[in-house]
Amino acid sequence: MTAAFASSQRQENRAEQLESLRRQMASVSEKLSGKVVDRVDELLPDSQSRLALPRWLAELLPVPLPQGTVAVLSGARSLLLGMVAAVTAAGGNVAVVGQPDIGLLAAVEMGADLSRLAVIPDPGTDPVEVAAVLIDGMDLVVLGLGGRRVPQTRARAVVARARLKGCTLLVTDGDWQGAPTRLAARVCGYEITAGSRPGFGRISGVRLQVSGVCAGRRVIGRARAG
């Protein structure tokens, strides 16, 4: 079952809210640690130093995406959902902060394991601090900044914590200064599965164009996601 947290107790100060979040995450981590999840065929072999990725994305990147790094994602949501699905399907734990419209059904269709996903739709006034707390118990943290810009002076401390804990941070809806990986995706086509009646069908996959930089090297290419 997906774990969901919301900042409903507005009367608590920031320290009390963060302490409550730490206790909740400790409880979730205990529940998740006993689960065994089989890898899916479309994932590349994972290691302690590399983040599990969908095969289509791994083939586009010039270098593997290491754990403990920060990446800024923009554009089509299929890129983000594919990464969330890959990590959870490979047995990793993921937290999504400040993304109330994350699209869990689409993630499941890509192979996501919702029992390894924690969702914090409303992190309050400081989502960066909430994400920093979650880094301790997660393999991947998705942080929606809501249009905010995180300066390097603050980013350095969070990056150092992510590197120490081996947790990757994916930033959306904002800017994170100094991020070595920045990827943008746009939908350039759809794949349709024909229905039982002429003129009817369903979208079985999307074709994405991904561009940007990864560890200082240019990324550009197209792939089928979903």
Residue 35 · residue 81 · CB < 8 Å: no
pLDDT for 163-186, tens place per residue? 999 999 999 999 999 999 999 999
User: For 30-34, 58-62, 75-79, which range has the lowest pLDDT when averaged over its residues?
Assistant: 30-34
Phi then psi for residue 27, to 5 deg, are: -65, -45
User: For 92-106, 110-124, 193-207, which range has the lowest pLDDT when averaged over its residues?
Assistant: 193-207
Which three-class secondary structure state does DSSP give residue 101? coil
pLDDT score at 39: 36
Rounded CA-CA distance 85/111 in Å is: 5
Quick one: tokens of 197? 């009646």
DSSP notation for 107-173:
HHHTT--GGGEEEEEE-TT-HHHHHHHHGGG-SEEEEE-TT-EE-HHHHHHHHHHHHHHT-EEEEES
Q: Which residue has the higher pLDDT, 37 or 176?
A: 176
pLDDT for 134-159, tens place per residue? 998 899 999 999 999 999 999 999 99
Rounded CA-CA distance 74/119 in Å is: 20
